[in-house]
């Protein structure tokens, strides 16, 4: 079953997310939508959500701050989990459950006739997730600064995800490593693309070549 974020990926590329959100909120939302659209990420998120009861917005938060070089401590992750749990259980989970239930017939109403209702529910679910994302940003305001070493970013993202799963009581050997590595790879991929130009070379290699005399 697709997570509701998937329904907004195409729209994300053609219009701004909201007109009244702050820059940081908008940036975080755009990151979540872009990462979720990357190859293998949707499947990874759904696997971790449905098999291990992980929160997709928290998974994406781990990736976002890790991309910026921020290591989340177990205490910070536990605080984030406990802070959003009431909203998730009261708003997001029931809306998602209803959306999924309407993919099956309800009495004489078949799924096709209920599609317009499911579409409205998708919008409500996404709005609820955006509320949770904005709340997570408030919790992140006082985190430590960035680690400037680009080579460490993948390890930081991976560490954030592993610490989150530990906070949820999941043993490491139970985790689907392919799902975690898909999240890590797609999170750091834009960082290295930014370092490359149209010729596919990183800045250091291009500078070295420019200093080499022609034969």
The tens digit of pLDDT for each residue in 71-118 reads 999 999 999 999 999 999 999 999 999 999 999 999 999 999 999 999
Q: Is the dihedral of CA 162, 163, 168, 170 positive or negative?
A: positive
In angstroms, the Cα distances linking 88 to 28, 77, 137, 174 are 18, 15, 16, 24
| pLDDT computed for residue 108 by the predictor | 96
User: pLDDT class for 150, splitting at 50, 70, 90?
Assistant: low
pLDDT at 18 over 90: no
160, 39 contact by CB (below 8 A): no
- The alpha carbon of 156 is separated from its chain's Cα centroid by a whole number of angstroms, namely 15
| pLDDT computed for residue 149 by the predictor | 61
| pLDDT computed for residue 20 by the predictor | 40
Which of 174, 165, 145 shows the shortest CA–CA distance to 81?
165
Enter the tokens of residue 212. 């080499």
Identify the burial level of 60 via C-beta atoms within 10 angstroms of its C-beta, where 0-12 means exposed, 13-18 middle and 19 or more buried: buried
pLDDT at 21 over 80: no
pTM exceeding 0.85: no
| pLDDT computed for residue 3 by the predictor | 55
Enter the tokens of residue 6. 């998937």
Mean residue pLDDT across the chain:
82
CA distance linking residue 83 with residue 141, whole number of Å: 15
Domains of the chain by residue range: 4-141+166-196
CA distance linking residue 118 with residue 68, whole number of Å: 36
Which DSSP state fits 88?
Answer: I
3-state class (DSSP) for residue 109: strand
End-to-end CA distance of the chain: 58
Q: How many CA atoms lie within 13 A of 153 on its CB side?
A: 22
User: pLDDT class for 185, splitting at 50, 70, 90?
Assistant: very high
CA distance linking residue 29 with residue 21, whole number of Å: 10
Query: Phi/psi at 43 (nearest 5 deg)?
Result: -60, -40
CA distance linking residue 60 with residue 166, whole number of Å: 16
pLDDT at 199 over 50: no
Enter the tokens of residue 157. 């993202």
175, 164 contact by CB (below 8 A): no
Higher model confidence: residue 128 or residue 14?
A: 128
Q: What value does the mean pLDDT take over residues 171-180?
A: 94
Enter the tokens of residue 94. 């029931």
């Amino acid at each position: 079953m697709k997570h509701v974020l998937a329904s907004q990926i195409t729209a994300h590329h053609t219009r701004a997310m909201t007109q009244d959100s702050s820059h940081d909120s908008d940036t975080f939302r755009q990151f979540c939508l872009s990462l979720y659209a990357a190859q293998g990420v949707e499947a990874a998120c759904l696997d971790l959500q449905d098999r291990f009861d992980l929160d997709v917005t928290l998974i994406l938060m781990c990736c976002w701050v890790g991309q910026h070089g921020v290591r989340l401590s177990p205490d910070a992750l536990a605080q984030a989990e406990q802070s959003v749990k009431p909203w998730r259980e009261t708003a997001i989970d029931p809306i998602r459950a209803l959306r999924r239930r309407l993919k099956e017939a309800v009495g004489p109403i078949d799924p096709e006739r209920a599609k317009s209702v499911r579409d409205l529910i998708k919008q409500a679910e996404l709005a609820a997730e955006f509320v949770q994302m904005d709340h997570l940003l408030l919790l992140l305001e006082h985190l430590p600064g960035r680690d400037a070493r680009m080579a460490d970013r993948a390890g930081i993202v991976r560490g954030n995800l592993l610490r989150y799963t530990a906070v949820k009581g999941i043993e490491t050997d139970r985790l689907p490593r392919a799902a975690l590595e898909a999240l890590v790879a797609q999170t750091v991929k834009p960082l290295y693309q930014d370092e490359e130009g149209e010729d596919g070379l990183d800045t250091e290699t291009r500078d070295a070549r420019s200093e080499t005399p022609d034969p």
